[in-house]
């Protein structure tokens, strides 16, 4: 958690700003309660304006929160970790990576072919293989609803290696292990194909021509990240490929390319470097050379196609939204200041120091900004994560994005920050109000 | 030289309801104003004089009774009909001038003409005539903020007469002016009445302003005060016109 | 939940009504402004905006940002659309293996037009040498290790390589011309001297032609504008000698490397295998007929044929995804802008209550007041919006960006697109500006219209 935070300076900055704003607000409310009350009263004077400004801040903060959620998640998965991180072993030179199944044996600690050099670096719980199987439930209709894309893997690696599935019910894993033709489906996928747990489905393959499967739905994957996913056991898949070879007399064209990814977990970067060196230089892999990289950098390479887009979002869209938010606040607060010009002069006559007037104006806009920002982030957090099931914006292989708890700090900091930027000039103007000028105008 | 009554107010009753309570502003009031008369309407605050003015100017409608202007029963007109009737028939002069601050004197005077079917050449002619009448042609491209109070009120008067209205209503036109400027404005009004034969309704509680009217009507608690009503027609002071011209010359010189 | 849904529906309906009413009212206001009817002069509004120039400026700037961003985002999608529309030659038929959702997943044996029935053969065009305009292509996405990567930056990228049996025919089929250099030789290899750890060594390099998009990307790696003929680049396990650069900026080929089919097949374990066939027919209609016949044609591997135009126009899933996302972002930003302009207009009206009262007394009608204030809001919006579009046009029109086009999640071609600010993008910008100005202006203008003249003068 802390490591994540440190890796994301913007979030850290937001957290610091939020804390500062809250502390400053509390100090202000406690030390000068009268002034604070005046701020509240002023806010209620033009309710329409306060509401409009508040609403504008809220929609814009909610928007940025959503955008940042996507960027933050992508940043997080592509940030290199220093401890207990995952590696992917894939075909060295081309996409999609297609390797012979034998490649897995050399790095599988439970296989007799396990490379002895790797002993002690990879434990039995640090290994997993993936094959991808795509098929359709209705070969006459290739619709999105009929498509089924599955991770083919050894069920006993699910809890130890799959992200966020370490808390999966062991009974489900057991069921998948026991049912050779079993499959676990994400809740949305299940709803989309209109099936229930216990029912059977027939899948006609798209990528493994001729390898058609009959599967039994044995359970549901947790909602969220795996909403659209499916996991089946590799035993059935491998058997079917072997059966194909026996019945047709020749191996399936993809027989020797059925392994797409190998996952490993290592303690630290040093182990990663050593594993990488051993595997990449091992003669056992020379027929189909492989590369070893951290999961983060692997995902990073996939996101490369989106880099201009992400750049635009990060450095054009988000700043522009923040600026327009500051403009809306600046507009509202400068209107208020102009309307109360006389009043500010009266306050000065009554002995208010310029600083108090500055605080009055800044306090007013920042209170609205901070509350609206926090509220918007809270609404986004609850609404998106619980009501909508994440932001459905598929990029590469991320089906949906979930708002992190830090969004509350983003919201507060953004709201208060934009309010500060928008009101600093009007506030300065207000506190430099010349009493004589105002009264000569009035008279 | 008085013609037929141009304003006929008959049995007018005006009340507002505030909650359960009914507040009578005008009670069974009747009044006639002959064409070309300069009528002063006096009375303490709350006496209903402004309400009466608003009824005659078609800004408001009576709860009961009739208001006739010439041969039009304006108390029964729809709001839309009233609005266009006002444009043609009423010239307004306000205490606080109520000029649009961003428009020049010329443009302010032109404003009511924009609602009439006139060519721009005709509009220009009429505006210049009106400005000439109040002696402000030399300042016509100034905005109200660049004019003195008296000058602003003269722009207001030009705006009131530019459409050649049947009736000019003035609500405390001198209320916000110093004595000298007030005098000028009153002179101007008298001159309008005399030279253009305009019917003028002046609401005021300033006796000096009321003095200039040919007839003064007193209102109190929503009724015309009997006996106090003077029907004597006073001629406008001789010096008025001369004074006005003098001012205009001074303005041009400055 | 149902209550919440109901509330949302009601809210949606209210918003829809407001938006529609605003648009109608604004069209009316514009009509009043241009028609020869009596109205509050527009200079009254302009002067007021001038007097309140700071507020006007700030409000207009908010519009500038929102509309400017919208324009840039739409220009991006427009660039993608252009690319998917312009890629593909009318009359070309693209054949993939049946069931392949993406070119990269397709797998076809070597083939020849001569194997086809006569009626199909007759549909296929020939060049002046009498050769069929037909090409078989092996397509791989391979890894390019970035030379001298920034510390902490990415170390490799994916590049798309296409191996061709006959590049001259392929260039003809795809209507691709060279920007510089020449096509690779039929042998596809050449002896080169290259720098290795400071000393020159002799090596056999494979010949390759780069799309101009990827040539620029590679150029940027080594601090040049673009790589060109004579440069050597390492991709996968081999060194490649660049013989030429293709002029293909606005098609998917701009991001591709073209080379001899053998080079790809040997290097990437694709012996005797292709991903696609492309043949040229006389016209789009014949191409459609040929697609049907080819899809029915029995061979050792079932085929799925479609016209190339069709293929590329199906690669719009990502375009659509971006389009919806942009629309969503734009609408949300527009809401912010609208609320801002509402603030401005409310303040403007409260400052000018007396003006409104006077205008009404002088005989101006409610609708004239409404039209006047609505027009003011529209003018404010248009000044800001037009500036935003102008800035977007000047800064971003023609700029290139990397993106991806695909027919669905998972697959995709990386492409280099050109941001395009054209008439339709500007039209959308204008529509947005108009709607924002209209919605932001309506409610305050209604409140102005409803002011009672007598009360507003008190």
Which residue is associated with the tokens 């009608």? C365
List of chains touching A (3+ CB pairs within 8 A): C
- Smallest Cβ–Cβ distance between C361 and the set B59, B99, B116 belongs to B59
Residues 279-308 of chain C whose Cβ lies under 8 A from any Cβ of chain A = none
Q: Which of C413, C418, C439, C458 is nearest to C15 (CA)?
A: C439
Cβ distance B59 to C453 less than 8 Å, yes or no, reads yes
Instruction: Find chain C residues with C-beta within 8 A of B169's C-beta.
Output: none
User: For the segment A265-295, what is each residue's pLDDT rounded down to a tens digit?
Assistant: 999 999 999 999 999 888 888 888 899 988 8
Give the start-to-end residue ranges of the domains of chain C.
22-85+317-456, 88-313
The answer to whether residues A49 and C347 touch, using CB atoms and an 8 Å cutoff, is yes
In degrees and rounded to multiples of 5, residue A380 shows phi and psi of: -60, -45
Residue C351 CB-density burial (10 A; 0-12 exposed, 13-18 middle, 19+ buried):
middle
Query: Could you tell me how far CA B102 lies from the centroid of its own chain?
Result: 23
Cβ distance C72 to A306 less than 8 Å, yes or no, reads no
b/e map A217-242, b = 16+ CB within 10 Å: bbbbbbebbbbbbbbbbbebbeebbe
Cα C238 to Cα A97: distance, rounded to the nearest angstrom: 18
> What are the distances in angstroms from CA C348 to CA A51, B103, C351, C352, C353?
17, 16, 5, 6, 9
Q: What is the pLDDT of residue A8?
A: 82
- Probe site for chain A from C161, C255, C409, C432 (most A CB atoms < 10 A): C409
- Probe site for chain B from C36, C37, C42, C361 (most B CB atoms < 10 A): C361
Nearest chain C residue (CA) to B51: C454
Q: What is the pLDDT along chain C (458 residues), one digit of tens a residue?
A: 678 788 889 989 998 999 999 999 999 999 988 888 888 888 899 998 988 888 889 889 989 999 999 999 999 989 888 888 877 888 999 998 876 767 877 888 888 888 888 888 889 999 888 899 999 999 988 888 888 887 767 778 888 999 999 999 999 999 899 999 999 998 888 888 887 777 888 888 999 999 988 998 899 888 889 999 999 998 888 899 999 999 876 677 888 999 999 999 988 878 888 999 999 999 888 999 999 888 888 766 678 899 988 888 888 878 888 888 888 888 888 888 888 888 888 888 888 899 999 998 888 888 999 999 999 999 999 999 999 999 999 999 988 888 888 776 556 777 888 899 999 999 999 999 999 999 999 999 999 988 888 888 87
The answer to whether residues C207 and C257 touch, using CB atoms and an 8 Å cutoff, is no
Instruction: Find chain B residues with C-beta within 8 A of C357's C-beta.
Output: 98
Cβ distance A206 to C409 less than 8 Å, yes or no, reads no
CA angle C301/C304/C307 to nearest 5° reads 145
Q: Is the peptide bond before A167 cis (omega within 30 degrees of 0)?
A: no
- Smallest Cβ–Cβ distance between C364 and the set B54, B103, B115 belongs to B115
The answer to whether residues C315 and C104 touch, using CB atoms and an 8 Å cutoff, is no
Cα B213 to Cα B195: distance, rounded to the nearest angstrom: 15
Q: What is the pLDDT along chain B (254 residues), one digit of tens a residue?
A: 445 788 999 888 888 888 788 888 888 888 888 888 888 888 888 888 888 888 898 888 888 889 998 888 888 888 888 888 888 889 999 888 889 999 999 999 999 998 888 888 999 999 999 999 888 889 999 999 999 888 999 999 999 999 888 899 998 888 888 888 888 888 888 888 888 888 899 988 888 888 888 888 888 888 887 544 444 444 444 444 444 444 444 444 43
Whether C238 and chain A come into contact, CB under 8 Å, resolves to no
Cβ distance A305 to C337 less than 8 Å, yes or no, reads no
Nearest chain C residue (CA) to B110: C41
Write down the ipTM of this complex.
0.81
Retrieve residue A394's tokens: 């598929």
Chain length of chain B:
254
DSSP A199-236: -EEEEEESSSTT--EEEEEEEEPPSSTTTT-EEEEHHH
pTM: 0.81
- Smallest Cβ–Cβ distance between B112 and the set C47, C362, C457 belongs to C362
Structure letter (DSSP) for residue A260: -
3-state helix, strand, coil in chain C (%, to 5): 55, 20, 25
Give the start-to-end residue ranges of the domains of chain B.
33-61+78-253
Cα B124 to Cα C221: distance, rounded to the nearest angstrom: 71
Cβ distance B59 to C454 less than 8 Å, yes or no, reads yes
Number of Cβ atoms within 10 Å of the Cβ of C133: 21
- Smallest Cβ–Cβ distance between C365 and the set B59, B83, B114 belongs to B83
User: For the segment A173-231, what is each residue's pLDDT rounded down to a tens digit?
Assistant: 999 999 999 999 999 889 988 889 999 999 988 778 788 999 999 999 998 788 888 99
The answer to whether residues C110 and C274 touch, using CB atoms and an 8 Å cutoff, is yes
Tell the CATH superfamily of the B33-61+78-253 domain.
P-loop containing nucleotide triphosphate hydrolases (3.40.50.300)
DSSP A355-383: HHHHHHHHHHHHHHHHHHHHHHHHHHHHI
b/e map B63-101, b = 16+ CB within 10 Å: eebebbbeeeebbebeeeebbebbbebbbbbbbbbbbbb
Q: Give strand pairing partners of B29.
A: B12
Which residue is associated with the tokens 């403007």? C348
Cα C242 to Cα C258: distance, rounded to the nearest angstrom: 10
CA C353 to chain B, closest CA, distance in angstroms equals 11
Nearest chain C residue (CA) to B98: C358
CA C457 to chain B, closest CA, distance in angstroms equals 8
Nearest chain C residue (CA) to B86: C363
Do A and B have ≥3 inter-chain CB pairs under 8 A?
A: no
CA B87 to chain C, closest CA, distance in angstroms equals 5
Cα B43 to Cα B219: distance, rounded to the nearest angstrom: 5
């Amino acid at each position: 958690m802390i490591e994540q935070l440190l890796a994301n300076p913007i979030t850290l900055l937001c957290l610091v700003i939020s804390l500062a704003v809250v502390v400053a607000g509390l100090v202000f409310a406690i030390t000068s309660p009268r002034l604070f009350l005046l701020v509240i009263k002023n806010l209620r004077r033009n309710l329409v304006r306060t509401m409009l400004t508040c609403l504008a801040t809220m929609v814009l903060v909610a928007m940025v929160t959503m955008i940042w959620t996507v960027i933050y998640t992508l940043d997080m998965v592509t940030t290199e970790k220093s401890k207990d991180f995952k590696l992917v072993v894939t075909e060295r030179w081309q996409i999609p990576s297609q390797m012979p199944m034998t490649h897995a044996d050399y790095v599988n600690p439970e296989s007799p072919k396990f490379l002895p050099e790797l002993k002690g670096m990879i434990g039995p719980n640090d290994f997993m293989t993936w094959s991808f199987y795509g098929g359709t439930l209705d070969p006459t209709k290739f619709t999105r609803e009929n498509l089924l894309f599955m991770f083919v893997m050894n069920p006993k690696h699910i809890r130890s290696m799959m992200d966020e599935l370490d808390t999966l019910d062991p009974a489900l894993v057991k069921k998948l292990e026991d049912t050779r033709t079993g499959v676990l489906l994400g809740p949305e996928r299940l709803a989309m194909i209109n099936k229930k747990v216990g029912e059977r489905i027939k899948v006609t393959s798209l990528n493994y021509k001729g390898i058609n499967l009959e599967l039994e739905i044995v359970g549901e994957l947790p909602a969220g990240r795996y909403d659209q996913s499916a996991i089946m056991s590799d035993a059935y898949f491998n058997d079917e490929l072997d059966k194909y070879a026996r019945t047709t007399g020749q191996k399936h064209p993809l027989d020797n390319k059925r392994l797409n990814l190998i996952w490993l977990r290592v303690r630290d970067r040093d182990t990663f470097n050593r594993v990488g060196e051993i595997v990449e230089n091992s003669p056992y892999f020379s027929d189909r050379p492989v590369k070893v990289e951290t999961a983060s950098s692997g995902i990073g390479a996939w996101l490369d196609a989106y880099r201009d887009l992400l750049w635009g979002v990060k450095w054009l869209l988000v700043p522009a939204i923040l600026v327009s938010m500051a403009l809306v606040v600046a507009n509202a607060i400068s209107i208020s200041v102009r309307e109360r010009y006389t009043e500010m002069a009266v306050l000065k006559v009554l002995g208010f120091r310029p600083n108090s007037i500055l605080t009055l104006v800044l306090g007013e806009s920042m209170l609205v900004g901070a509350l609206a920002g926090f509220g918007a982030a809270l609404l986004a957090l609850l609404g998106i994560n619980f009501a909508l099931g994440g932001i459905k914006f598929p990029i590469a292989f991320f089906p949906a994005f979930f708002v992190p708890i830090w969004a509350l700090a983003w919201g507060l900091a953004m709201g208060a920050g934009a309010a500060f930027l928008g009101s600093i000039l009007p506030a300065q103007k207000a506190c430099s109000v010349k009493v004589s000028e105002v009264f000569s105008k009035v008279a | 030289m008085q013609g037929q009554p141009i304003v006929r107010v008959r049995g007018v009753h005006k009340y507002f309801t505030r909650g359960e309570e009914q507040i009578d502003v005008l009670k069974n009031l009747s009044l006639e104003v002959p064409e070309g008369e300069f009528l002063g309407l006096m009375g303490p605050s709350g006496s209903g004089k402004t309400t009466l003015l608003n009824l005659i100017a078609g800004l408001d409608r009576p709860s009961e009774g009739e208001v006739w202007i010439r041969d039009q029963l304006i108390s029964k007109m729809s709001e839309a009909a009233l609005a266009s009737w006002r444009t043609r028939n009423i010239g307004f002069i306000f205490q606080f001038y109520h000029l649009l601050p961003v428009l020049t004197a010329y443009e302010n005077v032109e404003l009511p003409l924009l609602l009439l079917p006139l060519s721009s050449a005709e509009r220009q002619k009429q505006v210049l005539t009106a400005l000439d009448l109040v002696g402000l042609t030399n300042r016509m491209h100034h905005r109200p903020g660049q004019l003195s109070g008296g000058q602003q009120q003269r722009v207001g008067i030009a705006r009131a007469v530019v459409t050649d209205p049947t009736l000019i209503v003035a609500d405390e036109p001198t209320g916000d002016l110093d004595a000298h400027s007030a005098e000028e404005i009153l002179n101007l009004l008298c001159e309008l009445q005399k030279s253009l034969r305009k019917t003028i309704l002046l609401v005021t509680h300033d006796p000096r302003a009321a003095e200039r009217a040919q007839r003064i009507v007193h209102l109190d608690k929503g009724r015309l005060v009997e006996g106090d009503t003077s029907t004597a027609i006073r001629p406008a002071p001789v010096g008025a016109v001369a004074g006005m011209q003098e001012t205009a010359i001074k303005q041009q010189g400055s | 939940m149902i209550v919440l849904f109901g509330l949302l529906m009601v809210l949606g309906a209210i918003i829809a009504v407001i938006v529609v009413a605003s648009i109608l009212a604004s069209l009316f206001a514009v009509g009043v402004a241009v028609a020869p009817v009596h109205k509050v002069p527009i200079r009254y509004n302009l002067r007021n905006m001038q007097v309140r120039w700071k507020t006007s400026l700030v409000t207009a700037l908010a519009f500038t940002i929102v509309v400017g961003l919208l324009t840039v985002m739409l220009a991006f999608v427009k660039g993608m659309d252009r690319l998917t529309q312009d890629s593909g030659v009318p009359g070309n038929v693209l054949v993939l293996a049946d069931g392949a959702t993406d070119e990269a997943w397709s797998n076809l044996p070597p083939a020849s037009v001569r194997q086809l029935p006569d009626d199909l053969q007759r549909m296929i065009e020939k060049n002046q040498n009498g050769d069929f305009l037909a090409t078989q292509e092996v397509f791989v996405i391979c890894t390019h290790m970035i030379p001298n990567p920034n510390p902490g930056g990415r170390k490799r990228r994916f590049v798309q390589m296409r191996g061709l049996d006959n590049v001259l025919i392929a260039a003809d089929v795809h209507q691709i011309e060279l920007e510089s250099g020449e096509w690779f030789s039929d042998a596809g290899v050449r002896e080169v001297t290259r720098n290795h750890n400071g000393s020159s060594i002799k090596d056999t390099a494979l010949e390759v032609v780069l799309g101009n998009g990827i040539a620029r990307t590679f150029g940027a790696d080594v601090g040049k504008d673009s790589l060109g003929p004579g440069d050597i680049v390492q991709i996968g396990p081999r060194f490649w000698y660049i013989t030429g650069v293709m002029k293909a900026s606005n098609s998917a080929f701009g991001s591709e490397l073209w080379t001899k089919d053998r080079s790809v097949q040997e290097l990437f374990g694709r012996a005797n295998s292709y991903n696609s066939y492309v043949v040229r027919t006389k016209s789009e209609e014949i191409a459609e007929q040929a697609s049907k016949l080819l899809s029915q044609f029995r061979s050792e591997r079932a085929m799925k044929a479609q016209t190339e135009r069709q293929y590329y126009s199906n690669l719009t899933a990502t375009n659509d995804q971006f389009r919806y996302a942009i629309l969503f972002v734009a609408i949300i930003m527009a809401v912010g802008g609208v609320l801002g302009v509402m603030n401005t207009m409310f303040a403007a009206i409260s400052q000018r209550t007396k003006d409104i009262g006077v205008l009404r007394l002088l005989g101006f009608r409610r609708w004239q007041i409404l039209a006047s204030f609505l027009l003011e809001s529209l003018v404010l919006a248009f000044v800001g919006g037009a500036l935003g579009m102008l800035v977007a046009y000047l800064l971003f029109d023609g700029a290139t960006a990397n993106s991806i086009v695909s027919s669905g999640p998972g697959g995709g071609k990386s492409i280099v697109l050109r941001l395009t600010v054209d008439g339709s993008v500007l039209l959308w910008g204008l529509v947005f500006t108009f709607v924002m100005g209209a919605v932001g202006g309506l409610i305050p203008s209604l409140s102005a219209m409803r002011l009672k003249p007598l009360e507003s003068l008190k």
